Structure 1
Amino acid sequence: MKLPIFIADAFTTTAFRGNPAAVCLLENTLTEDAHQQIAREMNLSETAFIRKLQPSDNFTQSSCFGLRWFTPVSEVPLCGHATLASAAVLFHKIKNTNSTLTFATMSGELKARRAEDGIVLDFPLYPAFPQDFHEVEGLIKAAIGDTLVQDIQYSPDTRKLLVRLSDSYSRSFLETLKVNTKPLPGIEKTGKVKGLILTLRGQPEGQTPQYDFYSRYFAPWVGLPEDPVTGSAHTVLSSYWSQQLGKKEMRAFQCSRRGGELDISLRPDGRVDMKGGAAIVLEGTLTV
Protein backbone atom coordinates (compact mmCIF):
# COMPACT_ATOMS: atom_id res chain seq x y z
CA MET A 1 0.00 0.00 0.00
CA LYS A 2 1.27 3.48 -0.89
CA LEU A 3 0.16 6.43 1.25
CA PRO A 4 0.60 10.16 0.56
CA ILE A 5 2.58 11.65 3.46
CA PHE A 6 3.66 15.18 4.37
CA ILE A 7 5.62 16.90 7.12
CA ALA A 8 4.46 20.36 8.16
CA ASP A 9 6.01 22.66 10.75
CA ALA A 10 3.08 24.08 12.75
CA PHE A 11 2.64 27.34 14.69
CA THR A 12 5.27 29.01 12.54
CA THR A 13 5.61 30.37 9.01
CA THR A 14 9.30 29.47 8.81
CA ALA A 15 10.64 26.03 7.92
CA PHE A 16 12.45 24.16 10.68
CA ARG A 17 10.77 26.12 13.46
CA GLY A 18 7.49 25.45 15.27
CA ASN A 19 6.43 21.84 15.80
CA PRO A 20 6.82 19.29 12.99
CA ALA A 21 4.02 16.77 12.41
CA ALA A 22 3.68 14.03 9.83
CA VAL A 23 0.34 13.90 8.04
CA CYS A 24 -0.89 10.69 6.35
CA LEU A 25 -3.88 10.59 3.99
CA LEU A 26 -5.72 7.27 4.23
CA GLU A 27 -7.64 6.10 1.17
CA ASN A 28 -8.15 2.72 2.85
CA THR A 29 -8.27 1.51 6.44
CA LEU A 30 -5.06 0.69 8.27
CA THR A 31 -4.58 -1.85 11.03
CA GLU A 32 -4.13 -0.44 14.53
CA ASP A 33 -0.54 -1.71 14.56
CA ALA A 34 0.20 0.03 11.25
CA HIS A 35 -0.78 3.43 12.69
CA GLN A 36 1.67 3.00 15.55
CA GLN A 37 4.42 1.56 13.36
CA ILE A 38 4.20 4.51 10.96
CA ALA A 39 4.31 6.98 13.88
CA ARG A 40 7.35 5.17 15.27
CA GLU A 41 9.01 5.28 11.84
CA MET A 42 8.36 9.03 11.46
CA ASN A 43 9.66 9.58 15.02
CA LEU A 44 8.08 13.04 15.40
CA SER A 45 6.09 14.18 18.41
CA GLU A 46 2.92 13.37 16.46
CA THR A 47 1.85 11.68 13.26
CA ALA A 48 -1.69 12.52 12.12
CA PHE A 49 -3.90 10.18 10.11
CA ILE A 50 -6.74 11.74 8.07
CA ARG A 51 -9.41 9.32 6.92
CA LYS A 52 -12.58 9.62 4.86
CA LEU A 53 -15.81 9.19 6.81
CA GLN A 54 -17.85 7.96 3.81
CA PRO A 55 -16.70 5.92 0.78
CA SER A 56 -17.95 8.71 -1.52
CA ASP A 57 -15.84 11.38 0.24
CA ASN A 58 -12.74 12.86 -1.35
CA PHE A 59 -9.93 14.93 0.09
CA THR A 60 -10.48 17.89 -2.27
CA GLN A 61 -14.20 18.56 -1.87
CA SER A 62 -15.38 16.96 1.39
CA SER A 63 -15.40 19.11 4.53
CA CYS A 64 -15.55 16.42 7.25
CA PHE A 65 -12.85 13.84 7.99
CA GLY A 66 -11.76 11.49 10.73
CA LEU A 67 -8.48 12.40 12.47
CA ARG A 68 -6.23 10.47 14.85
CA TRP A 69 -2.85 11.34 16.38
CA PHE A 70 -0.01 9.04 17.44
CA THR A 71 3.27 9.74 19.21
CA PRO A 72 6.07 7.22 18.59
CA VAL A 73 4.75 5.19 21.54
CA SER A 74 0.98 5.73 21.85
CA GLU A 75 -2.22 7.30 20.55
CA VAL A 76 -3.15 10.64 22.15
CA PRO A 77 -6.65 12.09 22.67
CA LEU A 78 -5.87 15.66 21.53
CA CYS A 79 -3.16 17.33 19.47
CA GLY A 80 -3.21 20.92 18.27
CA HIS A 81 -0.12 21.18 16.10
CA ALA A 82 -0.87 17.99 14.13
CA THR A 83 -4.45 19.22 13.56
CA LEU A 84 -3.07 22.50 12.24
CA ALA A 85 -0.62 20.57 10.05
CA SER A 86 -3.46 18.37 8.74
CA ALA A 87 -5.58 21.39 7.81
CA ALA A 88 -2.57 23.04 6.13
CA VAL A 89 -1.98 19.94 3.99
CA LEU A 90 -5.64 19.75 2.94
CA PHE A 91 -5.93 23.49 2.25
CA HIS A 92 -2.56 24.17 0.63
CA LYS A 93 -1.42 20.89 -0.95
CA ILE A 94 -4.64 19.00 -1.70
CA LYS A 95 -6.42 22.29 -2.54
CA ASN A 96 -9.52 21.46 -0.51
CA THR A 97 -12.25 23.83 -1.65
CA ASN A 98 -13.88 24.47 1.74
CA SER A 99 -13.20 27.42 4.04
CA THR A 100 -13.75 25.31 7.18
CA LEU A 101 -12.89 21.67 7.85
CA THR A 102 -14.40 19.53 10.59
CA PHE A 103 -12.44 16.66 12.13
CA ALA A 104 -14.09 13.83 14.07
CA THR A 105 -11.63 12.95 16.87
CA MET A 106 -11.33 11.35 20.29
CA SER A 107 -11.92 14.87 21.70
CA GLY A 108 -15.12 15.43 19.73
CA GLU A 109 -15.51 17.62 16.66
CA LEU A 110 -12.65 20.03 16.03
CA LYS A 111 -12.80 22.70 13.34
CA ALA A 112 -10.05 24.39 11.34
CA ARG A 113 -10.80 27.43 9.20
CA ARG A 114 -8.79 29.49 6.78
CA ALA A 115 -7.59 32.92 7.89
CA GLU A 116 -5.66 35.56 5.96
CA ASP A 117 -2.52 35.00 7.98
CA GLY A 118 -2.83 31.38 9.09
CA ILE A 119 -5.30 28.72 10.17
CA VAL A 120 -7.67 29.03 13.14
CA LEU A 121 -8.36 25.95 15.26
CA ASP A 122 -11.64 25.79 17.21
CA PHE A 123 -10.70 23.72 20.28
CA PRO A 124 -12.10 22.89 23.72
CA LEU A 125 -11.11 25.14 26.63
CA TYR A 126 -10.15 23.21 29.76
CA PRO A 127 -10.16 24.73 33.25
CA ALA A 128 -7.36 24.16 35.74
CA PHE A 129 -7.78 24.07 39.51
CA PRO A 130 -5.44 24.81 42.43
CA GLN A 131 -3.18 21.87 43.19
CA ASP A 132 -1.68 21.14 46.61
CA PHE A 133 2.09 21.61 46.32
CA HIS A 134 2.95 18.77 48.70
CA GLU A 135 1.17 16.22 46.50
CA VAL A 136 3.38 17.05 43.51
CA GLU A 137 6.48 18.37 45.29
CA GLY A 138 8.64 15.37 44.34
CA LEU A 139 7.68 15.67 40.68
CA ILE A 140 8.37 19.42 40.50
CA LYS A 141 11.65 19.23 42.42
CA ALA A 142 12.89 16.43 40.17
CA ALA A 143 11.99 18.43 37.06
CA ILE A 144 13.17 21.96 37.93
CA GLY A 145 15.08 21.74 41.23
CA ASP A 146 14.80 24.86 43.39
CA THR A 147 13.32 27.10 40.69
CA LEU A 148 10.84 29.49 42.32
CA VAL A 149 7.20 28.54 41.74
CA GLN A 150 4.37 31.07 41.96
CA ASP A 151 1.31 28.89 41.31
CA ILE A 152 0.41 25.25 40.65
CA GLN A 153 -2.80 24.16 38.92
CA TYR A 154 -4.11 20.85 37.61
CA SER A 155 -6.36 20.16 34.62
CA PRO A 156 -8.31 16.92 35.21
CA ASP A 157 -9.70 16.90 31.65
CA THR A 158 -6.23 16.80 30.08
CA ARG A 159 -4.22 15.36 33.01
CA LYS A 160 -1.77 18.23 32.66
CA LEU A 161 0.00 19.85 35.61
CA LEU A 162 0.50 23.60 35.14
CA VAL A 163 3.41 25.12 37.05
CA ARG A 164 3.70 28.91 36.90
CA LEU A 165 7.21 30.15 37.58
CA SER A 166 7.88 33.28 39.62
CA ASP A 167 7.19 36.62 37.91
CA SER A 168 10.77 37.54 38.84
CA TYR A 169 12.04 35.31 36.03
CA SER A 170 12.52 36.45 32.42
CA ARG A 171 11.74 34.73 29.15
CA SER A 172 15.44 33.89 28.74
CA PHE A 173 15.39 32.08 32.09
CA LEU A 174 12.54 29.83 30.91
CA GLU A 175 14.23 29.26 27.54
CA THR A 176 17.51 28.13 29.09
CA LEU A 177 16.09 26.26 32.10
CA LYS A 178 17.34 22.68 32.15
CA VAL A 179 14.36 20.42 32.86
CA ASN A 180 15.03 16.84 33.94
CA THR A 181 12.22 14.74 32.47
CA LYS A 182 13.85 11.32 32.70
CA PRO A 183 12.75 10.42 36.27
CA LEU A 184 9.22 11.86 35.99
CA PRO A 185 7.33 8.73 34.81
CA GLY A 186 8.93 6.81 37.68
CA ILE A 187 7.89 9.45 40.23
CA GLU A 188 4.32 9.92 38.94
CA LYS A 189 2.98 6.45 38.16
CA THR A 190 -0.69 6.87 39.12
CA GLY A 191 -1.82 8.11 35.69
CA LYS A 192 -2.99 11.42 37.17
CA VAL A 193 -0.35 13.46 35.34
CA LYS A 194 0.43 12.93 31.65
CA GLY A 195 2.00 16.30 30.88
CA LEU A 196 3.92 19.08 32.64
CA ILE A 197 3.41 22.71 31.60
CA LEU A 198 5.88 25.34 32.75
CA THR A 199 4.59 28.85 32.20
CA LEU A 200 5.61 32.43 32.83
CA ARG A 201 3.85 35.78 32.64
CA GLY A 202 4.62 37.76 29.47
CA GLN A 203 7.03 40.66 29.17
CA PRO A 204 6.08 44.18 30.25
CA GLU A 205 4.03 46.51 28.06
CA GLY A 206 6.07 48.35 25.47
CA GLN A 207 8.47 45.55 24.65
CA THR A 208 8.32 44.08 21.15
CA PRO A 209 7.07 41.57 20.23
CA GLN A 210 4.44 41.58 22.94
CA TYR A 211 3.47 38.19 24.36
CA ASP A 212 0.97 37.71 27.18
CA PHE A 213 2.54 34.48 28.42
CA TYR A 214 5.32 31.99 27.72
CA SER A 215 5.41 28.24 28.19
CA ARG A 216 7.30 25.00 27.72
CA TYR A 217 5.72 21.53 27.68
CA PHE A 218 7.01 18.10 28.70
CA ALA A 219 5.28 14.72 28.31
CA PRO A 220 7.74 11.87 28.97
CA TRP A 221 4.74 9.73 29.99
CA VAL A 222 3.79 9.47 26.28
CA GLY A 223 7.33 9.41 24.91
CA LEU A 224 7.88 13.17 24.47
CA PRO A 225 10.66 14.55 26.68
CA GLU A 226 9.83 18.05 25.36
CA ASP A 227 7.23 19.03 22.77
CA PRO A 228 8.23 22.11 20.71
CA VAL A 229 4.81 23.84 20.41
CA THR A 230 1.71 22.32 21.96
CA GLY A 231 -1.88 23.18 21.05
CA SER A 232 -3.36 20.86 23.69
CA ALA A 233 -1.35 22.60 26.44
CA HIS A 234 -2.79 25.92 25.28
CA THR A 235 -6.34 24.64 25.85
CA VAL A 236 -5.34 24.81 29.54
CA LEU A 237 -2.98 27.80 29.37
CA SER A 238 -5.62 29.92 27.61
CA SER A 239 -8.12 29.31 30.40
CA TYR A 240 -5.57 29.98 33.15
CA TRP A 241 -4.03 33.15 31.72
CA SER A 242 -7.38 34.60 30.67
CA GLN A 243 -8.41 34.50 34.33
CA GLN A 244 -5.05 35.80 35.56
CA LEU A 245 -4.82 38.68 33.08
CA GLY A 246 -8.52 39.45 32.59
CA LYS A 247 -8.11 39.12 28.81
CA LYS A 248 -9.95 37.19 26.09
CA GLU A 249 -7.43 37.95 23.32
CA MET A 250 -3.82 36.93 23.92
CA ARG A 251 -0.56 36.18 22.13
CA ALA A 252 1.48 33.25 23.37
CA PHE A 253 5.00 32.03 22.72
CA GLN A 254 6.25 28.51 23.48
CA CYS A 255 9.92 28.79 24.42
CA SER A 256 11.29 25.50 23.11
CA ARG A 257 14.49 25.42 21.08
CA ARG A 258 12.42 25.60 17.85
CA GLY A 259 9.89 28.09 19.25
CA GLY A 260 6.39 28.86 18.04
CA GLU A 261 3.63 31.41 18.52
CA LEU A 262 -0.15 31.31 18.82
CA ASP A 263 -2.87 33.94 18.73
CA ILE A 264 -5.49 33.04 21.33
CA SER A 265 -9.13 34.13 21.36
CA LEU A 266 -11.63 32.85 23.94
CA ARG A 267 -15.03 32.29 22.33
CA PRO A 268 -18.46 33.12 23.81
CA ASP A 269 -19.39 29.42 23.58
CA GLY A 270 -16.71 28.42 26.11
CA ARG A 271 -14.19 27.18 23.54
CA VAL A 272 -10.96 28.71 22.28
CA ASP A 273 -9.71 29.78 18.86
CA MET A 274 -5.98 29.22 18.36
CA LYS A 275 -4.44 30.71 15.24
CA GLY A 276 -1.08 29.75 13.81
CA GLY A 277 0.86 29.38 10.60
CA ALA A 278 2.30 26.24 9.01
CA ALA A 279 5.19 25.55 6.66
CA ILE A 280 5.01 22.30 4.66
CA VAL A 281 8.59 21.05 4.36
CA LEU A 282 8.20 17.56 2.88
CA GLU A 283 5.80 15.62 0.68
CA GLY A 284 6.18 12.09 -0.52
CA THR A 285 4.85 8.56 -0.61
CA LEU A 286 5.03 6.04 2.20
CA THR A 287 5.16 2.36 1.22
CA VAL A 288 3.58 0.06 3.81
Structure 2
Amino acid sequence: MEIPVFTVDSFTNLAFKGNPAAVCPLLHELNDDLYQKIAAEMNLSETAFITRINSSDTFRTGSRFRLRWFTPATEVNLCGHATLASAAVLFRFQVNAMYSVYAYSENINPTLVFETRSGDLTVTQKSDGYVMDFPLNPPAHEDPNDFRDIIKVAVGDHPVQDVLLNSDTKKLMIRLPDSCDRAVLSKLKVDPYALLNSETSGRVKGLIITIKGSPDCQPGYDFYSRYFAPWAGIPEDPVTGSSHTVLGSYWSQKLGKKKMLAYQCSSRGGELELEVRDDGRINIAGEVTSVMQGVIRL
Protein backbone atom coordinates (compact mmCIF):
# COMPACT_ATOMS: atom_id res chain seq x y z
CA MET A 1 0.00 0.00 0.00
CA GLU A 2 1.19 3.50 -0.85
CA ILE A 3 -0.20 6.52 0.97
CA PRO A 4 0.63 10.07 -0.14
CA VAL A 5 1.80 12.41 2.59
CA PHE A 6 2.38 16.15 2.64
CA THR A 7 3.98 18.27 5.33
CA VAL A 8 2.51 21.77 5.50
CA ASP A 9 3.51 24.61 7.83
CA SER A 10 0.32 26.40 8.94
CA PHE A 11 -0.25 29.98 10.09
CA THR A 12 2.87 31.20 8.33
CA ASN A 13 4.18 31.95 4.84
CA LEU A 14 7.72 30.91 5.76
CA ALA A 15 9.10 27.39 5.76
CA PHE A 16 9.98 26.00 9.20
CA LYS A 17 7.79 28.52 10.97
CA GLY A 18 4.19 28.13 12.10
CA ASN A 19 2.91 24.66 12.96
CA PRO A 20 3.77 21.65 10.78
CA ALA A 21 1.08 19.07 10.06
CA ALA A 22 1.25 15.88 8.04
CA VAL A 23 -1.67 15.37 5.66
CA CYS A 24 -2.63 12.03 4.10
CA PRO A 25 -5.38 11.99 1.43
CA LEU A 26 -6.91 8.49 1.33
CA LEU A 27 -9.19 6.74 -1.14
CA HIS A 28 -10.72 4.73 1.70
CA GLU A 29 -10.66 4.58 5.49
CA LEU A 30 -7.93 2.70 7.33
CA ASN A 31 -8.25 1.11 10.76
CA ASP A 32 -7.65 3.28 13.80
CA ASP A 33 -4.54 1.38 14.84
CA LEU A 34 -2.89 2.16 11.50
CA TYR A 35 -3.87 5.82 11.73
CA GLN A 36 -2.23 6.00 15.13
CA LYS A 37 0.92 4.23 13.98
CA ILE A 38 1.31 6.61 11.02
CA ALA A 39 0.82 9.62 13.30
CA ALA A 40 3.42 8.27 15.71
CA GLU A 41 5.81 7.73 12.79
CA MET A 42 5.29 11.28 11.51
CA ASN A 43 5.81 12.53 15.09
CA LEU A 44 4.25 15.94 14.51
CA SER A 45 1.65 17.48 16.78
CA GLU A 46 -1.03 16.31 14.33
CA THR A 47 -1.36 14.08 11.30
CA ALA A 48 -4.58 14.59 9.33
CA PHE A 49 -6.34 11.91 7.28
CA ILE A 50 -8.71 13.00 4.52
CA THR A 51 -11.15 10.53 2.93
CA ARG A 52 -13.77 10.98 0.25
CA ILE A 53 -17.42 10.71 1.29
CA ASN A 54 -18.79 10.12 -2.21
CA SER A 55 -16.93 7.49 -4.23
CA SER A 56 -17.71 9.38 -7.45
CA ASP A 57 -15.75 12.41 -6.21
CA THR A 58 -12.08 13.01 -6.79
CA PHE A 59 -9.84 15.11 -4.61
CA ARG A 60 -10.16 17.78 -7.30
CA THR A 61 -13.95 17.76 -7.82
CA GLY A 62 -15.22 16.88 -4.35
CA SER A 63 -16.40 19.60 -2.00
CA ARG A 64 -17.10 17.44 1.05
CA PHE A 65 -14.64 15.14 2.80
CA ARG A 66 -14.18 13.30 6.08
CA LEU A 67 -11.31 14.54 8.25
CA ARG A 68 -9.66 13.00 11.33
CA TRP A 69 -6.68 14.22 13.36
CA PHE A 70 -4.19 12.16 15.37
CA THR A 71 -1.35 13.26 17.62
CA PRO A 72 1.52 10.79 18.15
CA ALA A 73 -0.49 9.50 21.14
CA THR A 74 -4.22 9.84 20.47
CA GLU A 75 -7.06 11.04 18.23
CA VAL A 76 -8.29 14.57 18.97
CA ASN A 77 -11.68 16.22 18.58
CA LEU A 78 -10.56 19.48 16.98
CA CYS A 79 -7.40 20.73 15.30
CA GLY A 80 -7.04 24.04 13.50
CA HIS A 81 -3.60 23.94 11.95
CA ALA A 82 -4.09 20.45 10.47
CA THR A 83 -7.49 21.50 9.07
CA LEU A 84 -5.83 24.49 7.43
CA ALA A 85 -3.10 22.21 6.07
CA SER A 86 -5.64 19.67 4.78
CA ALA A 87 -7.56 22.33 2.87
CA ALA A 88 -4.32 23.68 1.41
CA VAL A 89 -3.36 20.22 0.14
CA LEU A 90 -6.73 19.79 -1.59
CA PHE A 91 -6.72 23.31 -3.01
CA ARG A 92 -3.13 23.07 -4.27
CA PHE A 93 -2.54 19.42 -5.16
CA GLN A 94 -4.28 16.48 -6.80
CA VAL A 95 -3.55 12.83 -6.13
CA ASN A 96 -4.40 10.36 -8.86
CA ALA A 97 -6.24 7.11 -8.21
CA MET A 98 -3.02 5.10 -8.09
CA TYR A 99 -1.40 7.35 -5.46
CA SER A 100 1.60 7.77 -7.72
CA VAL A 101 1.50 11.23 -9.29
CA TYR A 102 1.33 14.62 -7.65
CA ALA A 103 0.41 17.60 -9.78
CA TYR A 104 -0.46 21.19 -9.07
CA SER A 105 -4.20 21.31 -9.63
CA GLU A 106 -6.57 23.44 -7.60
CA ASN A 107 -9.75 21.93 -6.24
CA ILE A 108 -12.51 23.42 -8.35
CA ASN A 109 -14.64 24.49 -5.38
CA PRO A 110 -14.20 27.82 -3.57
CA THR A 111 -15.14 26.23 -0.23
CA LEU A 112 -14.49 22.77 1.20
CA VAL A 113 -16.50 21.10 3.96
CA PHE A 114 -14.92 18.61 6.36
CA GLU A 115 -17.02 16.21 8.42
CA THR A 116 -15.26 15.89 11.79
CA ARG A 117 -15.75 14.97 15.44
CA SER A 118 -16.58 18.66 15.97
CA GLY A 119 -19.24 18.77 13.25
CA ASP A 120 -18.93 20.30 9.80
CA LEU A 121 -15.96 22.64 9.37
CA THR A 122 -15.67 24.75 6.24
CA VAL A 123 -12.53 26.28 4.75
CA THR A 124 -12.69 28.99 2.10
CA GLN A 125 -9.90 30.32 -0.07
CA LYS A 126 -8.98 33.98 0.16
CA SER A 127 -6.30 35.97 -1.63
CA ASP A 128 -3.46 35.33 0.80
CA GLY A 129 -4.57 32.20 2.62
CA TYR A 130 -7.63 30.40 3.92
CA VAL A 131 -10.50 31.08 6.33
CA MET A 132 -11.82 28.33 8.63
CA ASP A 133 -15.32 28.38 10.12
CA PHE A 134 -14.92 26.91 13.62
CA PRO A 135 -17.04 26.57 16.77
CA LEU A 136 -16.53 29.17 19.48
CA ASN A 137 -15.68 27.78 22.92
CA PRO A 138 -16.22 30.38 25.66
CA PRO A 139 -14.32 29.69 28.90
CA ALA A 140 -15.71 30.10 32.41
CA HIS A 141 -13.87 31.66 35.36
CA GLU A 142 -12.41 29.24 37.88
CA ASP A 143 -10.95 29.51 41.36
CA PRO A 144 -7.15 29.60 40.94
CA ASN A 145 -6.79 27.55 44.14
CA ASP A 146 -8.43 24.61 42.36
CA PHE A 147 -5.53 24.57 39.89
CA ARG A 148 -2.73 25.66 42.20
CA ASP A 149 -0.30 22.90 41.16
CA ILE A 150 -0.64 23.32 37.41
CA ILE A 151 -0.39 27.11 37.71
CA LYS A 152 2.83 26.80 39.70
CA VAL A 153 4.38 24.51 37.08
CA ALA A 154 3.21 26.71 34.21
CA VAL A 155 4.11 30.23 35.33
CA GLY A 156 6.14 29.83 38.52
CA ASP A 157 5.99 32.89 40.75
CA HIS A 158 4.48 35.21 38.13
CA PRO A 159 1.20 36.76 39.26
CA VAL A 160 -1.98 35.51 37.58
CA GLN A 161 -4.85 37.78 36.54
CA ASP A 162 -7.44 35.26 35.32
CA VAL A 163 -7.94 31.49 35.36
CA LEU A 164 -10.62 30.05 33.08
CA LEU A 165 -11.67 26.66 31.78
CA ASN A 166 -13.68 25.49 28.81
CA SER A 167 -15.11 22.18 29.96
CA ASP A 168 -15.98 20.99 26.44
CA THR A 169 -12.45 21.23 25.09
CA LYS A 170 -10.85 20.79 28.55
CA LYS A 171 -8.56 23.72 27.86
CA LEU A 172 -7.42 25.65 30.91
CA MET A 173 -6.44 29.28 30.29
CA ILE A 174 -4.13 31.34 32.47
CA ARG A 175 -3.92 35.07 31.81
CA LEU A 176 -0.87 36.88 33.08
CA PRO A 177 -1.29 40.55 34.09
CA ASP A 178 -0.62 43.38 31.67
CA SER A 179 2.63 44.13 33.48
CA CYS A 180 4.00 40.98 31.81
CA ASP A 181 5.15 41.62 28.26
CA ARG A 182 5.69 39.27 25.35
CA ALA A 183 9.25 38.53 26.45
CA VAL A 184 8.01 37.16 29.78
CA LEU A 185 5.61 34.80 28.01
CA SER A 186 8.20 33.69 25.45
CA LYS A 187 10.81 32.95 28.11
CA LEU A 188 8.61 30.75 30.30
CA LYS A 189 10.19 27.33 30.78
CA VAL A 190 7.34 24.86 31.12
CA ASP A 191 8.31 21.27 31.92
CA PRO A 192 5.80 19.04 30.07
CA TYR A 193 6.37 16.10 32.42
CA ALA A 194 5.82 18.21 35.50
CA LEU A 195 2.75 19.71 33.81
CA LEU A 196 1.37 16.25 33.08
CA ASN A 197 1.86 15.15 36.68
CA SER A 198 0.43 18.36 38.14
CA GLU A 199 -3.07 17.74 36.74
CA THR A 200 -4.43 14.19 36.74
CA SER A 201 -8.12 14.82 37.43
CA GLY A 202 -9.05 14.65 33.74
CA ARG A 203 -10.54 18.16 33.81
CA VAL A 204 -7.61 19.57 31.81
CA LYS A 205 -6.24 18.27 28.51
CA GLY A 206 -4.57 21.45 27.30
CA LEU A 207 -3.06 24.58 28.87
CA ILE A 208 -3.17 28.07 27.37
CA ILE A 209 -1.05 30.90 28.76
CA THR A 210 -1.93 34.34 27.41
CA ILE A 211 -1.26 38.05 27.78
CA LYS A 212 -2.73 41.19 26.29
CA GLY A 213 -1.00 42.37 23.14
CA SER A 214 0.22 45.69 21.84
CA PRO A 215 -2.21 46.74 19.11
CA ASP A 216 -0.56 50.16 18.84
CA CYS A 217 2.73 48.57 17.76
CA GLN A 218 3.09 47.07 14.30
CA PRO A 219 1.81 44.59 13.26
CA GLY A 220 -0.66 45.28 16.08
CA TYR A 221 -1.28 41.97 17.83
CA ASP A 222 -4.28 42.06 20.15
CA PHE A 223 -3.01 39.21 22.31
CA TYR A 224 -0.27 36.61 22.60
CA SER A 225 -0.40 33.02 23.75
CA ARG A 226 1.39 29.71 24.15
CA TYR A 227 -0.19 26.25 24.33
CA PHE A 228 0.84 23.01 26.01
CA ALA A 229 -0.85 19.59 25.74
CA PRO A 230 1.33 16.82 27.19
CA TRP A 231 -1.91 14.98 28.06
CA ALA A 232 -2.30 14.42 24.29
CA GLY A 233 1.38 13.73 23.68
CA ILE A 234 2.22 17.32 22.64
CA PRO A 235 4.74 19.02 24.98
CA GLU A 236 4.18 22.42 23.32
CA ASP A 237 2.11 23.03 20.20
CA PRO A 238 3.71 25.73 18.02
CA VAL A 239 0.53 27.43 16.71
CA THR A 240 -2.89 26.16 17.73
CA GLY A 241 -6.16 26.90 15.96
CA SER A 242 -8.31 25.06 18.51
CA SER A 243 -6.96 27.07 21.46
CA HIS A 244 -8.03 30.24 19.66
CA THR A 245 -11.66 29.10 19.76
CA VAL A 246 -11.27 29.70 23.52
CA LEU A 247 -8.91 32.68 23.33
CA GLY A 248 -11.00 34.42 20.68
CA SER A 249 -14.10 34.29 22.85
CA TYR A 250 -12.29 35.59 25.93
CA TRP A 251 -10.33 38.40 24.30
CA SER A 252 -13.25 39.55 22.16
CA GLN A 253 -15.17 40.30 25.35
CA LYS A 254 -12.21 41.84 27.15
CA LEU A 255 -11.17 44.05 24.25
CA GLY A 256 -14.65 44.78 22.89
CA LYS A 257 -13.57 43.69 19.43
CA LYS A 258 -14.92 41.17 16.91
CA LYS A 259 -11.85 41.16 14.67
CA MET A 260 -8.46 40.47 16.21
CA LEU A 261 -4.92 39.63 15.20
CA ALA A 262 -3.21 37.05 17.42
CA TYR A 263 0.30 35.72 17.68
CA GLN A 264 1.33 32.43 19.28
CA CYS A 265 4.86 33.00 20.47
CA SER A 266 6.37 29.53 20.52
CA SER A 267 9.89 29.12 19.18
CA ARG A 268 8.43 28.72 15.66
CA GLY A 269 5.70 31.36 16.03
CA GLY A 270 2.60 31.97 13.96
CA GLU A 271 -0.08 34.55 13.19
CA LEU A 272 -3.85 34.08 13.22
CA GLU A 273 -6.59 36.43 12.06
CA LEU A 274 -9.78 36.01 14.10
CA GLU A 275 -13.35 37.16 13.69
CA VAL A 276 -15.91 36.31 16.36
CA ARG A 277 -19.32 36.01 14.75
CA ASP A 278 -22.77 36.73 16.13
CA ASP A 279 -23.90 33.15 15.42
CA GLY A 280 -21.59 31.70 18.07
CA ARG A 281 -18.79 30.68 15.76
CA ILE A 282 -15.38 32.05 14.92
CA ASN A 283 -13.49 32.58 11.67
CA ILE A 284 -9.81 31.68 11.92
CA ALA A 285 -7.66 32.71 8.97
CA GLY A 286 -4.04 32.07 8.16
CA GLU A 287 -1.46 31.35 5.52
CA VAL A 288 0.39 28.10 4.82
CA THR A 289 3.49 26.90 3.07
CA SER A 290 4.12 23.37 1.81
CA VAL A 291 7.55 21.99 2.68
CA MET A 292 7.45 18.29 1.77
CA GLN A 293 5.58 15.66 -0.23
CA GLY A 294 6.18 11.97 -0.41
CA VAL A 295 4.78 8.45 -0.07
CA ILE A 296 4.31 6.18 2.92
CA ARG A 297 4.84 2.56 1.84
CA LEU A 298 3.26 -0.18 3.94
Maintained 8 Å contact 1:171/1:203? no
CA distance in 2, matches of 1:199, 1:70: 25
Q: Which residue of 2 aligns with 1:221?
A: 231
CA distance in 1, matches of 2:243, 2:49: 21
Runs of 4+ residues deviating >4 angstroms:
none
Count of aligned pairs between the two proteins = 287
Q: Which residue of 2 aligns with 1:162?
A: 173
Q: How does 1:59-70 map to 2 (within 5 A)?
A: 59-70=59-70
Q: Which residue of 1 aligns with 2:82?
A: 82
CA distance in 2, matches of 1:204, 1:3: 44
Q: How does 1:112-261 map to 2 (within 5 A)?
A: 112-203=123-214, 205=216, 207-261=217-271
Q: Which residue of 2 aligns with 1:30?
A: 30
Maintained 8 Å contact 1:118/1:276? yes
CA distance in 2, matches of 1:11, 1:173: 23
Matched, 1:101 2:139: no
Q: Which residue of 1 aligns with 2:102?
A: none
For 2:180, give the aligned amino acid.
Answer: Y
Across the aligned residues of Structure 1 and Structure 2, the Cα RMSD in angstroms comes to 0.9
CA distance in 2, matches of 1:93, 1:174: 37
CA distance in 1, matches of 2:56, 2:265: 43
For 2:295, give the aligned amino acid.
Answer: T
TM-score by length of 1: 0.98
What secondary structure does 1:168 align onto?
coil
Maintained 8 Å contact 1:200/1:213? yes
Structure 1 residue 244, shift from structure 2 partner:
0.4
What secondary structure does 1:269 align onto?
coil
CA distance in 2, matches of 1:181, 1:174: 16
Maintained 8 Å contact 1:144/1:180? no
For 1:232, give the aligned amino acid.
Answer: S
Q: Which residue of 2 aligns with 1:56?
A: 56
Structure 1 residue 262, shift from structure 2 partner:
0.5
CA distance in 2, matches of 1:150, 1:202: 15
Cα-to-partner distance string for 1:240-271 (whole Å, 9 max, x where unaligned): 00000000000000000000000001122110
For 2:242, give the aligned amino acid.
Answer: S
Q: Which residue of 1 aligns with 2:101?
A: none
> Which 5+ residue runs of structure 2 have no aligned equivalent?
95-105
* Range that drifts further, 85-94 or 215-224: 85-94
Structure 1 residue 190, shift from structure 2 partner:
1.6
> Which 5+ residue runs of structure 1 have no aligned equivalent?
none
Cα-to-partner distance string for 1:188-223 (whole Å, 9 max, x where unaligned): 112110000000000152x11100000000000001
Q: Percent identity?
A: 55
Structure 1 residue 182, shift from structure 2 partner:
1.2
Q: Which residue of 2 aligns with 1:281?
A: 291
